[in-house]
Structure 1
């Protein structure tokens, strides 16, 4: 784990609408695509540790507006234009055609699992298998949990989170209005950085972290600004999906093998979402870990994900 990786291809793909998406490849064998979380987190070198690079050709893709793609949401609000779930699905297809890939093994973590399912449901013949961790369906109840209900467990941090948008009630029932209020502030140059700092402090507080912790990606103010802008942009619009759309349409991907890995006490995404998916998805299995790990790059998650990709055979 954490070894040096030989990147044999690093490039940008013009996907139109003024966007160029960054991608990188390493390894050889079955094509696999990593879909990062956030939305707006970007890929990291540790994502290669989720695969045996002697068996997989792994592609990392930074989604519109983040990572090394252009333009960046931290630099300009133009990065939020033509930046929706439908656009990201189109980008994955454009990249597949550009690389000459017949079908992918998809890995998605957190928001990346939402995007993986949305892509697979749109293009079911282009997915060979899936592995997902910290599974998120981006349903309304899950957004309410993350930005509202879980405040009952972290009342101090939640009070600070809500205080930054004092015109919105701290009642979890007003979660949508709270996210929209943050999105509005993040578009105002005079208010944007302070709003990004408050948003990201909440994102880290539920995992016992702090945005100023040494070595944290949140320690970079530009990362905080771009991340918060993209997250609130997507979640204000419910990711441009109908509520429970992914669960309702799971029959479209019923034949695709999928391993879901989820921590029972994940503070970000309740276990109920992947549990319901497994019950409706004949080819899916759910592995429940103890503890609170959410990130695909947490040590326990890395081990479980790597075991899941190692056993896939084609």
Structure 2
């Protein structure tokens, strides 16, 4: 555990080989926490990898806490962890919300980033938010969208994210839990190319659903503390940092248009579109691309 101030302590773990290529893994959500499967994207003989649970989630404390929990708090936490490890710079690896945080960190501290490996690009622009919570994904999963909005009275459905905020911050734990399960089920339906019942059960399990739903909603209500288009406007700060983006063609959670816009703003990045890929890193084509990217940056022969 690392005490980072503001009442927060974050869980971290370090694996691989001491003296190997330094890397930090930034999980998604926000609010999901890290898992053993995520370590498998790095060759442990070549990497010295740090993974951590971001504020309020996983094994970090306090549980599901929204206070002092912003994008810029997390960027500061990453720097504290880098200093703790004694690395001059490291590879930054993140998918989904982890790609957002990776970009925010890299644009703030470009001198500390050796390379970037990103998946499922999310730039937190209004059109991306609207795709998932207004119109877009709703057309592909109409029956699941109806279940999602059914949790909210009709008169509040004009702003679904705000309506869920009221329930996810309720003083009644039962109200919180019901809203969290509905929120997490909707997201879970959009993240895989093919149905995955085991993954959906994990997404909607109480101790997973509550922090993810509360923290995601908290970030989205506040637009992740980013100005509209900020990560594209500041893409010039990434100049000179080698990067690879692995993006599923059929990613219904973070569609490929965001990755394409980032590629145009950051021409030197390598964008790989996986033709049969969705959103999650566990899908075969996505996993293959990510492992090949981490191997390449460690100098491993193909």
Shorter-chain TM-score tier: over 0.9
Give me the whole-angstrom Cα distance separating, in 2, the residues matched to 1:281 and 1:289.
20
* Structure 1 partner of 2:205: 220
The structural deviation recorded for 1:193 is: 0.9
**Structure 1 segments unaligned to the other structure (5+ residues):** 1-11, 74-78
Give me the whole-angstrom Cα distance separating, in 2, the residues matched to 1:95 and 1:70.
16
TM-score, normalised to structure 2, is 0.92
The structural deviation recorded for 1:219 is: 4.4
Shift in alpha-carbon separation, 1:115–1:153, aligned structure 2, 3 A = same
Aligned equivalent of 1:148, options 118, 134, 138: 134
Give me the whole-angstrom Cα distance separating, in 2, the residues matched to 1:264 and 1:215.
21
Aligned equivalent of 1:97, options 79, 83, 86: 83
Give me the whole-angstrom Cα distance separating, in 1, the residues matched to 2:88 and 2:120.
27
The structural deviation recorded for 1:297 is: 2.6
TM-score, normalised to structure 1, is 0.89
Shift in alpha-carbon separation, 1:68–1:254, aligned structure 2, 3 A = same
The structural deviation recorded for 1:152 is: 1.5
Aligned equivalent of 2:7, options 6, 11, 18: 18
Give me the whole-angstrom Cα distance separating, in 2, the residues matched to 1:87 and 1:218.
25
* Structure 1 partner of 2:179: 195
Aligned equivalent of 2:144, options 146, 150, 157: 157
Give me the whole-angstrom Cα distance separating, in 1, the residues matched to 2:121 and 2:87.
25
- State whether residues 266 and 291 of structure 1, in contact with CA within 8 Å, keep that contact through their aligned partners in structure 2: no
Structure 2 counterparts to residues 55-70 of structure 1, below 5 A: 55-70=46-61
Shift in alpha-carbon separation, 1:102–1:187, aligned structure 2, 3 A = same
- State whether residues 261 and 288 of structure 1, in contact with CA within 8 Å, keep that contact through their aligned partners in structure 2: yes
Shift in alpha-carbon separation, 1:215–1:185, aligned structure 2, 3 A = closer
**Range with bigger deviation, 105-114 or 217-226:** 217-226
Give me the whole-angstrom Cα distance separating, in 2, the residues matched to 1:36 and 1:24.
13
Whether 2:222 is the aligned partner of 1:237: answer yes
Give me the whole-angstrom Cα distance separating, in 2, the residues matched to 1:215 and 1:247.
32
Tell me the secondary structure at the aligned position of residue 11 of structure 2: strand
- State whether residues 181 and 204 of structure 2, in contact with CA within 8 Å, keep that contact through their aligned partners in structure 1: no
Give me the whole-angstrom Cα distance separating, in 1, the residues matched to 2:115 and 2:265.
17
Structure 2 counterparts to residues 17-36 of structure 1, below 5 A: 17-28=6-17, 29-36=20-27
- State whether residues 255 and 282 of structure 1, in contact with CA within 8 Å, keep that contact through their aligned partners in structure 2: no
- State whether residues 118 and 244 of structure 2, in contact with CA within 8 Å, keep that contact through their aligned partners in structure 1: yes
**Structure 2 segments unaligned to the other structure (5+ residues):** none
* Structure 2 partner of 1:264: 249
Structure 2 counterparts to residues 1-314 of structure 1, below 5 A: 12-28=1-17, 29-73=20-64, 79-149=65-135, 150-168=137-155, 170=157, 174=158, 177-188=159-170, 189=172, 190-206=174-190, 207=192, 209=195, 213=198, 216-313=201-298
Shift in alpha-carbon separation, 1:114–1:286, aligned structure 2, 3 A = same
- State whether residues 264 and 288 of structure 1, in contact with CA within 8 Å, keep that contact through their aligned partners in structure 2: yes
The structural deviation recorded for 1:181 is: 1.0
Give me the whole-angstrom Cα distance separating, in 2, the residues matched to 1:23 and 1:49.
16
**Range with bigger deviation, 38-47 or 160-169:** 160-169
Give me the whole-angstrom Cα distance separating, in 2, the residues matched to 1:52 and 1:197.
35
Shift in alpha-carbon separation, 1:303–1:100, aligned structure 2, 3 A = same
Give me the whole-angstrom Cα distance separating, in 1, the residues matched to 2:206 and 2:34.
18
